[in-house]
């Protein structure tokens, strides 16, 4: 019998656990440890954040699903890894702390034969003074954050209906943020909602970002074949913003947020301020702060984790200049180089470096988008790790499965307005996610698989994906037919 423990129940962790349960015999145990009781279909948080959906509509309670399929669920957060065991338990184990129920705040040692770290990001609101729902800005990182963002947004809409004017600022709350796609989706939807409420003329909408150019998205932008041209996403995005009357400020590191004012520094080193009434600014991410202790009781966290807290895997972490970055730097198997029975999936693995070209102020302050790890690659990585563990448990001699972000593509459907006949979304695919300039010297990507277009069809796809992936998350009959 093998014990497989999955830390985290986001896209990567939930996918890995579900496939392991499907593939492994009942003599093997699959355990999921997650501090939250629900699976959150994050792409639809954008709609929750504008009052278009309820938080419940984007959440799937995990316990009933896991009880039904035979996965052990512990609502707890992982605290410390003991990959070699210790005096208390000689076999590899992880110390967890319950976050709810009768055992709330109690600690427990959970043994494992294989461990998947899919803990996702820590939302580092504390990186910028005044950032986050506990201070002055909104967020859509969780369904609860999004719900409160919607309440604030609708209050401003009501004020505008009574003749007041408002300035909305959406984007990055720090110079090293990622997930600019989510900010873009939110700002364009917000603008569409202002029009739907009949108050667009009373609002100024500004996109504030750490990106070097519009459409960078933390992946160095992309090129798409459209209308007889090969067009960079900077033009694609600028066109969308210009059409919607959304202004933009780029290359900005937000330093401080007060009740009505955002202070930021530009790449040129100029300090500026921006007054605002409503702000939705995403935080930078880091690892969740797991520690690791070896059999001698020594802290080996630095061997397992990068300085940003994400787990080291089979990537090339050697520091090198941007000009020397290559596709081969990116991990393939997501296996820890320190312990062969530990893997990291989704946001939890440490990228070897950014994808976008780094930029710094003359004082060395980084202002550029860091690498995104969106749902599609996260789910694919979760699945191939599950396959690798299945193979190892079966001892079938199969090599570890691979899925490099420098080989796989990603599809992104960014809602730009809702409505069955008047909605729209930007549907984009890029392949590979990490540009490979050795294979594709001119653009770094295969233009046969890289596309983007805006229209009602994209909105239908976005709605379809919402229901399909929530169905899949519930592990209902036929869920494996829905691709990652």
Partner 1 sequence: MILRDDWKQTLPAHMKPSSYATKPTRFTLFLRTFVPWQIVRFLIVNIKMMRMTWLNKHSH
Q: Minimum Å distance from CB 48 to partner 1?
A: 24
Looking only at the bridges linking them, the beta strands covering 3-7 and 114-117 are parallel
CB of 431 to partner 1, least distance (A): 6
Which letter, b or e, does each residue of 189-204 get, where b requires 16 or more Cβ atoms within 10 Å of its Cβ? bbbbbbebbebbebbe
Q: What is the largest CA-CA distance in the chain?
A: 70
Nearer to partner 1, 148 or 359 (CB): 359
Q: Which two tokens stand for residue 447?
A: 């233009």
Q: Are 96 and 33 in contact (CB under 8 A)?
A: yes
Q: Among residues 204 and 301, whose Cβ is nearest to partner 1?
A: 204
* Matching residue, tokens 């929530």: 470
Closer residue to partner 1, CB minimum distance, 296 or 421: 421
Is 52 or 249 the residue whose CB approaches partner 1 more closely? 249
Token code pair at residue 188: 């364009």
In angstroms, the Cα distances linking 113 to 35, 82, 317, 474 are: 21, 12, 27, 26
Residue 52 DSSP code: S
* Closer residue to partner 1, CB minimum distance, 80 or 237: 237
Smallest distance from partner 1 to CB 256, Å = 16
Nearer CB in complex with partner 1: 72/238: 238
**CA torsion angle 348 379 328 388 (round to 10):** 90
- Which is nearer to partner 1, 86 or 213 (by Cβ)? 213
For residues 326 and 381, the answer to whether their CB atoms sit within 8 Å is no
Q: How far apart are the two ends of the chain, measured CA to CA in Å? A: 28
CB of 333 to partner 1, least distance (A): 10
Collapsing DSSP to helix, strand or coil, 144 comes out as: helix
Under a CB-based contact definition with an 8 Å cutoff, are residues 331 and 369 in contact?
no
Give the helix ranges, DSSP H, for 270-401.
301-304, 375-394
> Residue 308 carries which DSSP code?
T
- Strand pairing class (203-208; 247-249): parallel
Q: Can you tell me the distance from the alpha carbon of 182 to that of 432, in angstroms, rounded to the nearest whole number?
A: 20
Edge-first strand order for the sheet with 410-417 is 410-417, 424-430, 451-455
Residue with tokens 């399909």: 468
CB of 409 to partner 1, least distance (A): 5
Whichever of 74 and 253 has its CB closer to partner 1, that residue is 253
Question: Closer CB to partner 1, residue 326 or residue 429?
Answer: 429
Pick between residue 131 and residue 410 the one whose CB is nearest to partner 1: 410
Smallest distance from partner 1 to CB 4, Å = 22
Residues at the interface with partner 1 (CB under 8 A): 235, 238-239, 241-243, 245-251, 266, 272-274, 332, 376, 380, 384, 401-404, 407-411, 421-422, 424, 427, 429, 431, 449, 451, 453-458, 460-461, 483-484
Nearest approach, Cβ of 380 to partner 1 (angstroms)? 5
Least distance (Å) between residue 204 CB and partner 1: 9
Residue with smaller CB distance to partner 1, 317 or 460:
460
Place of tokens 């320190």: 338
Q: How far is the CB of 337 from partner 1 (least distance, A)?
A: 20
The count of other CB atoms within 10 Å of the CB of residue 100 is 12
Q: What minimum distance in Å lies between the beta carbon of 379 and partner 1? A: 10
Compute how many other C-beta atoms are within 10 angstroms of the C-beta atom of residue 396. Answer: 8
Give the span between the Cα atoms of 217 and 429, in whole angstroms.
Answer: 13
Distance in Å, CB of 372 to partner 1, minimum: 16
């Amino acid at each position: 019998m093998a014990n497989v423990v999955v830390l985290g129940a986001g896209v990567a962790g939930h996918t890995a656990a579900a496939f392991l349960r499907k593939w492994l015999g009942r003599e093997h145990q699959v355990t999921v440890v997650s501090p939250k009781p629900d699976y959150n279909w994050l792409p639809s948080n954008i709609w929750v954040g504008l009052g278009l959906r309820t938080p419940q509509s984007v959440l799937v309670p995990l316990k009933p699903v896991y009880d039904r399929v035979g996965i052990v669920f512990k609502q707890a957060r992982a605290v410390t890894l003991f990959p070699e065991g210790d005096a208390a338990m000689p076999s590899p184990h992880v110390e967890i702390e319950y976050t709810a129920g009768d055992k709330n705040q109690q600690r427990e040692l959970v043994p494992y034969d294989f461990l998947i770290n899919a803990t996702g990001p820590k939302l580092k609101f504390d990186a910028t003074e005044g950032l986050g729902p506990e201070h002055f800005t909104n967020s859509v990182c969780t369904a609860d954050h999004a719900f409160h963002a919607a309440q604030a947004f609708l209050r401003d809409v009501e004020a505008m209906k009574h003749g007041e004017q408002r300035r909305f600022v959406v984007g990055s709350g720090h110079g090293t943020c990622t997930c600019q796609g989510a900010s873009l989706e939110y700002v364009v939807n917000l603008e569409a909602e202002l029009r739907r409420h009949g108050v667009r003329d009373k609002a100024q909408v500004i996109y504030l970002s750490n990106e070097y150019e519009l459409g960078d998205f933390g992946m160095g932008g992309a090129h798409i074949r459209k209308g007889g041209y090969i067009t960079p996403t900077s033009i694609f995005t600028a066109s969308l913003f210009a059409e919607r009357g959304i202004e933009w400020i780029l290359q900005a590191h937000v330093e401080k947020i007060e009740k009505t004012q955002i202070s930021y520094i530009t790449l040129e080193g100029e300090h500026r301020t921006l007054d605002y009434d409503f702000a939705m600014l995403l935080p930078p991410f880091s690892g969740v702060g797991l520690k690791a202790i070896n059999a001698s009781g020594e802290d080996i966290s630095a061997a397992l984790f990068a300085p940003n807290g994400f787990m080291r895997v089979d990537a090339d972490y050697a520091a090198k200049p941007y000009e020397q970055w290559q596709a081969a730097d990116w991990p393939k198997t997501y296996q820890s180089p320190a312990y062969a029975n530990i893997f990291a999936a989704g946001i939890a693995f440490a990228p070897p470096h950014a994808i976008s070209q780094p930029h710094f102020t003359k004082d060395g302050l980084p202002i550029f988008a860091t690498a995104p790890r969106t749902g599609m690659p996260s789910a694919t990585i979760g699945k191939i790790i599950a396959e690798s563990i299945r193979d190892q448990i079966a001892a079938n001699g199969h090599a570890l499965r691979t899925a490099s972000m420098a080989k796989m593509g990603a599809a992104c459907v960014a809602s730009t307005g809702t409505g069955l006949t008047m909605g729209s979304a930007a549907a984009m695919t890029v392949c590979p996610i990490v540009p490979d300039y050795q294979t594709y010297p001119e653009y770094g990507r295969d233009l046969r698989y890289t596309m983007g277009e805006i229209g009602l069809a994209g909105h239908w796809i976005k709605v379809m994906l919402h229901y399909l992936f929530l169905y899949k998350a519930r592990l209902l009959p036929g869920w494996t037919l829905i691709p990652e």
